[in-house]
Amino acid sequence: MNTFKKIEQSQVTISELMLPSHTNFSGKIHGGYILSLMDQIAFACASKHSGNYCVTASVDTVDFLKPIEVGELVVMKASVNFVGRTSMVVGIRVESEDIHSGIIKHCNSSYFTMVAKNDKGESMPVPGLVLKTEKEVRRFLTSLRRQEMKKNHRKETSFNTELRNEDLEILRNSHKVELQY
């Protein structure tokens, strides 16, 4: 296994025409369907980079910026932005194109953290990244900071589940809850 790979060696692009069967109740393409496609491309990109089967560890902020219509061509581009010891952050950009007008709109961007696994389900080391451009360095550093923020957030939010009087007062005074116990 190479110890380092260039980002373009594992980039993946997929395109799919959006069909009526992909719609939600309002006639737009269902967000869950788009998430499923995003998970597939994240898997393909991470597996291509690591040379191993990969699993989704987490998905960071999925903002649906613009709705996708039936008949539009959805293009997803995935790239490994960051690598840890056994994990990779895959950046995904989702665009849709109205094939009649040629208008392209940015619909979504997200970051999937993927972990490489062997046949026994054990985490496997992944190759490092060769960063050749300022944009690649920026993406790597942004992902590194995001990973650090997630770790800090987990520490801050993993508190004792014992109910304290001050917590109950906060609920009573600041939130739309009615305590009935």
Q: Using pLDDT thresholds of 50, 70 and 90, give the confidence band for residue 161.
A: low
Q: Which pLDDT does position 43 carry in this prediction?
A: 98
**For residues 92 and 167, what is the distance between their CA atoms, to the nearest angstrom?**
38
Strand 87-97 versus strand 73-83 pairing type: antiparallel
Q: Using pLDDT thresholds of 50, 70 and 90, give the confidence band for residue 2.
A: low
| Residues 126-138, mean pLDDT to the nearest whole number | 97
User: Using one digit for the tens of pLDDT, what is the confidence trace for 56-108?
Assistant: 999 998 999 999 999 999 999 999 999 999 999 999 999 999 999 999 999 99
Domain definitions of the chain by residue range = 4-159
Share of the chain above pLDDT 70, in %: 97
> Taking the complete model, does pTM exceed 0.85, yes or no?
yes
Q: Using pLDDT thresholds of 50, 70 and 90, give the confidence band for residue 160.
A: low
Lowest mean pLDDT among 1-5, 14-18, 167-171: 1-5
Q: Tell whether the model's pLDDT for residue 162 goes beyond 80.
A: no
Helix boundaries (H) for the chain: 31-50, 134-157, 165-174
Q: Tell whether the model's pLDDT for residue 36 goes beyond 90.
A: yes
| CATH 3.40.1160.10 is held by the domain 4-159 | no
Contacts 24+ apart (CB under 8 A), 30-36: 31/62, 31/64, 34/64, 34/68, 34/74, 34/94, 34/107, 34/108, 35/59, 35/62
